[in-house]
Amino acid sequence: MRYTGNKVIEEDMQGKATMMPANIQINNKKLYIESYGCQMNFSDSEIVASILIDEGYTTVADYKDADVILVNTCSIRENAEQRVFNRLRNYQAVKKTRPGAIIGMLGCMAERLKSQLLERDRLVDLVVGPDAYRSLPELLQNAESGQKAVNVLLSREETYADISPVRLDNNGISAFISIMRGCDNMCSFCVVPFTRGRERSRDPESIVREARELLLKGYKEITLLGQNVDSYKWNITSKGEIIDPKEDVVRFSGLLEKVALVSKELRIRFSTSHPKDMNDDVIETMAKYDNICEYIHLPVQSGNNNILDKMNRGYTREWYFERIDSIRRIMPNCAISTDIIIGFCDETDQDFEETYDLMDRVEFDFAYMFKYSERPKTLAERNFIDNVPEEIKSERLQKIIDLQRAKSLLSNQKMIGKECQVLIEGISKRSDNQLFGRNSQNMVVIINKDDLKKGQYVDVLVDSCSSATLFATVIKKNNN
Ligand code: 5AD
Ligand code: SF4
């Protein structure tokens, strides 16, 4: 109601306060939101839904039933943008049957492609960037009356801290909480600093409050989200005063601790960590609390120092190995995953071999692997040439995919005969008689259904595995 609350006050001043309840009822418009890209985009869509539900919208599962179709877009690689273009073309069919329907583009593609999509291709009626979602109700009204509806301004302050996200597409068990927005790192390949703006952290009190609310609603797992959670830093009081720097500055390890203390029943995950900033405080806090999952996503991007330098990552191969050693020393059972980009500008066979070698040595439990895709405005686009031929990129990508498949299988095989705790998330895709969940290490575990329910924690013994999944027998059901 916060947002609507502000609106009521405005309308009060215009003598229209009584319109508000009626408005909620008559604005029985149907909203469809589709999200692409990272978890942050999915989390943002939940904020958008909250803002519009407060305005009287209801969400629908099929875009063909919607009065307003919003696509929350991703720009991270060119193929992500292509997928969105194709989807927007599909939506044009709705316009033919219902000319009044509004199609809007949210998120990372908004700023760069606003003119093209709104004016040239006329694929959308509304364009709203990641920091401007509070203006959506007003912009939707503009769009409905045929006016221009664009707001792509980035903010240095907006964190949507006061908005309780509406959990979309959820299992009622796990939820995301955004703890910060934007990124100041300027990795040379990355478009995020341009699409999402400067880094800003959210008030820890509002984060803890959101975690408590989720717990009360029956959620069992939360994932704290930020582009670089290790640089989380809060030193502004709720009144906006800067705290004495010697006093209570809350950093990521402190925030993790506050959230872990909400309840032992609430599992905590987070993403994404940055090797240059992930310090031992974070690892030690993870080790201290059983409910902080033993899983770190630590993107290395490349195993070669020249390439890391050109990528502006701020660390070396040796530094990365040292961070891995620290994680394994402090938390021997911690699972580690990574992101890899192959075929970055000037990457030689030898440079690539060093990435392969790093993956071989670290033995990641999981990896997301990408071909370099040049993005407009980035440092790499301005300063380097995207000169690794497509066939070589494909070859290198295939080599690391094959390597990682073997490493993931190895990591799963090491679990056979071991016990672990699983949080049940739902019915398995392969059979209605089986359930799936995850262990602390984020490995997917399949168990027999019996009388178990989603949201329950069970202790299991792992019997067998594939490279993607563990199969296990329940040895203890916990009473929750
Ligand atoms: N090309 C390919 N992959 C990219 N990523 C980010 N930018 C690019 C790009 N231009 C990858 C990185 C990052 C992940 C979210 O996406 O590996 O960690
Ligand atoms: Fe992009 Fe680097 Fe920021 Fe991650 S840390 S969002 S890769 S600029």
Q: Which residue has the tokens 């993607």?
A: 468
| Residue 119: how many other CB atoms lie within 10 Å | 10
Beta-bridged to residue 296, according to DSSP, are 336
**At 107, which helix (H) or strand (E)?**
strand 102-107
Q: What is the mean pLDDT of residues 63-75?
A: 94
d(CA 117, CA 262): 45
pLDDT value at 6 more than 50:
no
472: Cα separation from own chain's centroid: 29
Please say whether the beta carbons of 202 and 246 come within 8 A.
no
Q: Which residues line ligand 1 (CB under 6 A)?
A: 76-77, 189-190, 299, 301, 339, 341, 370, 372-373, 375
> Residue with structure tokens 């919607």?
66
- Counting ligands in written order, which one lies closest to the CA of residue 197? 2
183 confidence band (pLDDT: 50, 70, 90):
very high
The CATH T-level fold of domain 174-413 is pyruvate-formate lyase- activating enzyme (3.80.30)
- Model pTM greater than 0.85? yes
169 token code pair: 């597409």
Q: Where in the chain is the domain with CATH 2.40.50.140?
A: 419-477
Q: For a pLDDT cut of 70, what percent of the chain falls above it?
A: 91
18 pLDDT exceeds 60? no
State the span(s) of the chain assigned CATH 3.40.50.12160.
Answer: 2-151
Averaged pLDDT for residues 165-193: 92
Q: What is the pLDDT at residue 116? A: 86
Q: Is 193 in the pocket of ligand 2 (CB under 6 A)?
A: yes
Q: Which residue, judged by its Cα, is nearest atom 4 of ligand 2?
A: 227
Neighbours of 2 (CB within 10 A): 13
Q: Read off the pLDDT of residues 234-293 as tens digits, 9 standing for 90 and up.
A: 986 555 565 555 557 899 999 999 999 999 999 999 999 999 999 999 999 999 999 999
Q: How far apart are CA 26 and CA 57, in angstroms?
A: 10
180-197 mean pLDDT: 95
Q: Which ligand is nearest to the CA of 338?
A: 1
Give the C-alpha separation, 192 to 203, whole Å. Answer: 22
Ligand 2 contact via 275 beta carbon (within 6 Å): no
The stretch 347-371 carries a mean pLDDT of: 98
Residue 430: predicted pLDDT: 87
CATH 3.80.30.20 in the chain is located at 174-413
Closest-approaching ligand to the CA atom of 192: 2
From the CA of 228, how far away is ligand 2's center (Å)?
A: 7
The residue whose two tokens read 């109700």 is 137
Residue 350 confidence (pLDDT) above 50:
yes
Q: Which of 178, 228, 300, 313 to mutate for ligand 2's pocket (most ligand atoms within 8 Å of CB)? A: 228
Which residue's CA is minimally distant from atom 2 of ligand 2? 187
Output the pLDDT for position 239: 53
Average pLDDT, the chain: 90
Q: How far away, in angstroms, is 192 Cα from ligand 2 center? A: 6
Residue whose CA is at the smallest distance from ligand 2 atom 1: 190
Cβ atoms within 10 Å, residue 10: 10
E strand or H helix at 137? helix 136-144
- Concatenate the DSSP letters of all residues of 188-216 into one string: TT--HHHHH-S-EEPPHHHHHHHHHHHHH
Q: What is the pLDDT of residue 10?
A: 28
Residue 25 has pLDDT above 50, yes or no: no
Which one is predicted more confidently, 12 or 418? 418
Give me Rg for the CA atoms of the chain: 23
Whole-angstrom distance between the N-terminal and C-terminal Cα of the chain? Answer: 32
Residue 344 near residue 311, CB atoms below 8 Å:
yes
Overall average pLDDT of the 396-408 stretch: 98
For residues 91 and 3, give the distance between their C-alpha atoms in angstroms, rounded to a whole number. Answer: 29
366-396, pLDDT tens digit by residue?
999 999 999 999 999 999 999 999 999 999 9
Q: What is the CATH number of domain 2-151?
A: 3.40.50.12160
Helix H or strand E encompassing 369: strand 366-371
Which ligand 2 atom is nearest residue 183's CA?
A: 3
Q: Which residues contact 398 (CB under 8 A, 6 or more apart)?
A: none
CATH superfamily of 419-477: Nucleic acid-binding proteins (2.40.50.140)
Taking the centre of ligand 1 as the mean of its atom positions, its distance from the CA of residue 252, in whole angstroms, is: 23
Please check the confidence at residue 212 and state whether its pLDDT lies above 60. Answer: yes
Question: Are 95 and 124 in contact, with CB atoms under 8 Å apart?
Answer: no
Q: Does any ligand 2 atom lie closer than 6 A to the CB of residue 75? A: no
280-331: per-residue pLDDT in tens?
999 999 999 999 999 999 999 999 999 999 999 999 999 999 999 999 999 9
CA gap 163, 202 in Å, rounded: 12
DSSP 446: E
Measured at the CA of 316, the angle between CA 311 and CA 321, to 5 degrees, comes to 130
pLDDT over 50 (residue 11)? no
Q: What is the pLDDT of residues 98-142, one digit of tens each?
A: 888 999 999 999 988 988 888 888 899 999 999 999 999 999 999
Which atom of ligand 2 is found nearest the CA of 227? 6
Evaluate if residue 23 carries a pLDDT over 80.
no
Copy the structure tokens of residue 310. Answer: 């050109």
Amino acid 442: pLDDT: 97
- Judge if the beta carbon of residue 182 lies within 6 A of ligand 2: no
**pLDDT for the residue 170:** 73
